[in-house]
Structure 1
């Protein structure tokens, strides 16, 4: 089964909470309450997201966190990459030279095509898109897919 980690899912929730705050800043405690996640988990996520330059922190009594860019300029691929590293279905999709079979592998090219399709799909959905009301069940999810 393909899935992102719980922390990546939670990071998306925290980023969505920040997006709803507009230009305001939210403390880790406030984000914990809004997201219904534990404060240590939120703090851990914020540290990683700040290192990836997706959130900006402000120190002091009125300090907290805010998005580094507008929600429409942050993609789900940005969040996944921040939390999990390069998007790669297989080791050779993310890191060339990581497999001793690359030179004679008959399926590598197709795994790379699949990897590119997933990366493109994640890159086509923004944080702003995640805040919109989801389509009704069974309705197609609109996304831009590049042809190869």
Structure 2
């Protein structure tokens, strides 16, 4: 099963909460209360998102966290990469991935194409989409035209 970590899921929840109130500065304590997550988890997530330049942090009485850019300019892949690192279906499908079987496996190229399609789809979903309660309308066709997953006879 392909599955994102809980921390990544929480990061999206926290980012969506901030995106729903873009004019406000949000403290870790208030965010934790709003999304019903433990404060240490929210704080850890916020630090990672600031490090990835998805959030800005301001200290002081009027301090807190806010989006570093509009929600429509932050994608699902940005958030996932901030928490998980580069997205790839297999080790060899990442740009820096190395595999001792790459020369003999015969499937590396196709896994790279699948990974490219997944990354493209995640790049097409914005934080604005994720923070909206309306269902996301995903593209009917995969983001890259050259991907064909049908078995050839």
**What is residue 130 of structure 1 aligned with on the other side?**
130
**What is residue 119 of structure 1 aligned with on the other side?**
119
Deviation at residue 96 of structure 1 after TM alignment: 4.2
Q: What per-residue deviation string (whole Å, max 9, x for no partner) do you get for residues 96-127 of structure 1? A: 45111112221111111111111011000000
SS of 1:66's equivalent in the other structure is strand
**What is residue 51 of structure 1 aligned with on the other side?**
51
Unaligned runs of 5+ in 1: none
Once residues 97 and 87 of structure 1 are traced to their aligned partners in structure 2, the CA distance between those partners, rounded to angstroms, is 11
SS of 2:89's equivalent in the other structure is coil
**What is residue 73 of structure 2 aligned with on the other side?**
73
Unaligned runs of 5+ in 2: 147-153
How many residue pairs get aligned? The number is 144
Q: What per-residue deviation string (whole Å, max 9, x for no partner) do you get for residues 2-54 of structure 1? A: 11000000000000011112122100011101111110000000000000000
Once residues 113 and 95 of structure 1 are traced to their aligned partners in structure 2, the CA distance between those partners, rounded to angstroms, is 12
**What is residue 150 of structure 2 aligned with on the other side?**
none
**What is residue 7 of structure 2 aligned with on the other side?**
7
Once residues 146 and 103 of structure 1 are traced to their aligned partners in structure 2, the CA distance between those partners, rounded to angstroms, is 25
Aligned ranges 1:94-109 → 2 under 5 Å? 94-96=94-96, 98-109=98-109
Deviation at residue 141 of structure 1 after TM alignment: 4.1
Once residues 41 and 14 of structure 2 are traced to their aligned partners in structure 1, the CA distance between those partners, rounded to angstroms, is 10
Deviation at residue 132 of structure 1 after TM alignment: 2.3
Deviation at residue 61 of structure 1 after TM alignment: 1.4
Within the candidate set 139, 143, 146, 2:144 is matched to 146
Q: What per-residue deviation string (whole Å, max 9, x for no partner) do you get for residues 34-92 of structure 1? A: 11111000000000000000000000111100000100000000000000000011001
SS of 2:56's equivalent in the other structure is strand
Once residues 39 and 97 of structure 2 are traced to their aligned partners in structure 1, the CA distance between those partners, rounded to angstroms, is 40
Q: Which runs of 4+ in 1 moved over 3 A?
A: none
